[in-house]
Amino acid sequence: MKVTQIPYCKEVLVMVTSCNACGNKSNEVKSGTGIAPKVEGILTTLKSPLTTIIIPYSSGDSEKLNSDQNQRTSFLNDISAILAGDKFVTIALDDPASNCYLQNICAPEPDPQ
């Protein structure tokens, strides 16, 4: 078992076991930290390389699909407005095990924004 630091992440435990008798080998990676205390904050800017959203079966000949077309069109218009920056949204990240992180892509330099 070895504790390893991963940049921009937390400690992880790398466990490797091997049985000389039967030849069975096992590799396992686990989080090396506990559950973080509750942290709240405000996310002011969200940028993503997401530029295309494809929703399968967005058009078709089914009566049910045609009856929901207005809702789908409204939803896709809202997503387009969010991606264009015309509509603001609040995103809540729920990660009680603290396995996610927000990365500063300018690191180690200060973020100009």
pLDDT in tens, 101-113: 677 778 788 877 7
pTM of the model: 0.34
Determine the pLDDT at residue 65.
61
The Cα–Cα gap between 113 and 16 comes to: 43
Structure tokens at 7: 């940049």
The Cα–Cα gap between 74 and 71 comes to: 5
pLDDT at 60 over 60: no
pLDDT band with cut points at 50, 70 and 90 for residue 4: confident
Determine the pLDDT at residue 69.
78
For residue 76, give every residue at least 6 positions away whose Cβ sits within 8 Å of its Cβ, in sequence order, or none: 53, 55, 58
The Cα–Cα gap between 43 and 58 comes to: 31
Residue count of the chain, please give it. Answer: 113
Tell me if 4 sits within 8 A of 28, measured CB to CB.
no
